[in-house]
Structure 1
Amino acid sequence: MNSKIISLSLICLLFLSCQGQQTKTVQTVDVTAFAEKLKATDKAQLLDVRTPEEFSSGHIENATNVNWNGDDFVAKAENYDKSKPVFVYCKVGGRSAQAADKLAELGFNEVYNLEGGIMKWNASVNVKPSEKIIGICDQEYGELIKSSERVMIDFNAKWCAPCKKMNPYILKFQREMADKIKIVQLDADENKTIVDQLKLDGLPVIIVYEKGKEVWRNVGYISEEELRKHL
């Protein structure tokens, strides 16, 4: 009986030890720590795990595209040096967290995941805005938020799960409240310029304007009932 208890205890300790090692291997860090570590690493292995389309619209300098959702993620990842640090990021941090765990499973010793993804990176004061205009510009946006007494802007994305969950009732509000508030939906990927200028660092983002001035903002998921209260 005692030997069984001892054996079970040893198995538990081994399991916890492995889990601790996995946690130490993958470190999710903020923009400042990520940038500093990246700068201090010679010939850093920087992986953008978004889709090729997202990558082509803008990426962190010297990054290479290894699509997490692609069939060849593992095959491409195996081409990198597992004994050296590897840095990963995506749009807001979800896909890169999964990719980081996979890299740890593949035997990479030191993996850094960018918390908040490239949206946090682009919202950082250390990042220079791109001169290329993608989507609506600041002047057009200014006209848009003044186009009605009250305007609600919904920044979303096709890949964003909370955005998809909120979309049905936002469309419903758009119809039901047309006489009270103008509701406009903007895809963050298709309107990168204004997203960067507003320094939005997450999705979805709801901003309500009155006479062109911001009066309320919500970042992340919000229920139908709660959103209705602010409209």
Structure 2
Amino acid sequence: MSQFNLKRFKNSVTAVVLFVALGAFAQNQNTITLPLDAFYTKIKSQKSPQIIDARSPEEFELNHIEGSVNFNLQTENYAKYVAQLDNSRPVFIYSIGAGRSNALAKELLKNGFSDVHDLEGGIAAWIGGGKPFYTNLKSKLSLAEYKKIIADNNAVLVDIGSRYCGACKKVKPVLETIRAQYGTNLKIIEIDLEESPQVIADLKTVNVFPTLILYQNGKIVFKKDGLGDLKKDVDLALAVNK
């Protein structure tokens, strides 16, 4: 290869590398979804973080990230809430999962906001990760009570979710089938965010709703993020660990 062609080749490679780097930088500046630790760290770096809870007013009233405001694309006077934000500064959005928050994040990005972040796992990840939150009620179930149930029963299936979570509703009929099959041989606990947020925070193991955990003799046999084939997994695990 001649020196001229070699120089052109090197320049081309440099241009491609620069293009990829700039693309990655731009994508980073407009990141929509962030995992919990990155989301939390970025919030803590802001003097007055702009945090939006994109759930319903009913959900927000029960629990939310401290300092957040509550609105989504369906909120009356939506434009008024957006006008109160500074589009030159980062915006942090969350919901129960990713639906409402992701839709709002994309809309803000299309309308002049340059740094918008959606929390992966939503409020489940935040509270389940033990981050500070507001709640207007005391948990029905404490961590000590939870641990006692695990210790007092040979097999325990724990369902952690929210009454506002669509995927969580699909778990309920499966739990009834499992309950009917195993009876007293399997203790089933259902923990809702709206009733026992503190025990979810204290467990520090929930990333999404629903989360299913099967214990046997006090030890975790499996932990599932999402429903999956819960009945099959329970049957297999209990058969293997008889």
Q: Which TM-score band (shorter chain)?
A: 0.7 to 0.9
Confirm or deny that 1:33 pairs with 2:38: yes
- Choose from 182, 185, 191 the match for 1:186: 191
Cα deviation for residue 209 of structure 1 reads 2.1
Residue ranges of structure 2 left out of the alignment (5+ in a row): 1-25
Going from structure 1 to structure 2, the CA distance change for 1:217 and 1:106 (only over 3 Å counts) comes to same
Identity %: 30
3-state DSSP of counterpart to 2:124:
helix
Going from structure 1 to structure 2, the CA distance change for 1:142 and 1:61 (only over 3 Å counts) comes to same
Equivalent-residue separation in structure 2 for 1:30 and 1:191 (angstroms) = 23
Confirm or deny that 1:214 pairs with 2:220: yes
* Equivalent pair of 2:128/2:207 in contact (CA under 8 Å): yes
Confirm or deny that 1:109 pairs with 2:114: yes
- Choose from 124, 138, 142 the match for 2:143: 138
3-state DSSP of counterpart to 1:178:
helix
Cα deviation for residue 227 of structure 1 reads 3.9
Cα deviation for residue 194 of structure 1 reads 1.0
Confirm or deny that 1:229 pairs with 2:212: no
Equivalent-residue separation in structure 2 for 1:77 and 1:128 (angstroms) = 23
Whichever of the two has the greater Rg, that structure is 2
* Equivalent pair of 1:49/1:96 in contact (CA under 8 Å): yes
3-state DSSP of counterpart to 2:209:
coil
Equivalent-residue separation in structure 1 for 2:220 and 2:48 (angstroms) = 43
Instruction: Report the TM-score, using the length of structure 2 for normalisation.
Output: 0.72
Going from structure 1 to structure 2, the CA distance change for 1:48 and 1:207 (only over 3 Å counts) comes to same
Going from structure 1 to structure 2, the CA distance change for 1:82 and 1:188 (only over 3 Å counts) comes to same
Q: How does 1:195-214 map to 2 (within 5 A)?
A: 195-199=200-204, 200-214=206-220
Going from structure 1 to structure 2, the CA distance change for 1:71 and 1:83 (only over 3 Å counts) comes to same
Cα deviation for residue 68 of structure 1 reads 5.0
AA partner of residue 218 (structure 1): K
> What residue in structure 1 maps to residue 163 of structure 2?
158
3-state DSSP of counterpart to 2:160:
strand
Deviations 1:61-107 (A, max 9, x none): 32212245544444422332333322212233332112101222333
Deviations 1:167-189 (A, max 9, x none): 21211111122043122322233
Equivalent-residue separation in structure 1 for 2:222 and 2:192 (angstroms) = 20
Going from structure 1 to structure 2, the CA distance change for 1:149 and 1:22 (only over 3 Å counts) comes to closer
Question: Which is richer in helix?
Answer: 2
Moved more, 166-175 or 206-215: 206-215
Equivalent-residue separation in structure 1 for 2:54 and 2:189 (angstroms) = 30
Going from structure 1 to structure 2, the CA distance change for 1:125 and 1:165 (only over 3 Å counts) comes to closer
Cα deviation for residue 127 of structure 1 reads 4.8
* Equivalent pair of 2:139/2:197 in contact (CA under 8 Å): yes
Going from structure 1 to structure 2, the CA distance change for 1:133 and 1:112 (only over 3 Å counts) comes to same
AA partner of residue 213 (structure 2): I
Deviations 1:137-162 (A, max 9, x none): 11221232244332211112222232
Moved more, 210-219 or 136-145: 210-219
Residue ranges of structure 1 left out of the alignment (5+ in a row): 1-20
Equivalent-residue separation in structure 1 for 2:34 and 2:172 (angstroms) = 31
Q: Alignment length, in residue pairs?
A: 212
Cα deviation for residue 42 of structure 1 reads 4.1
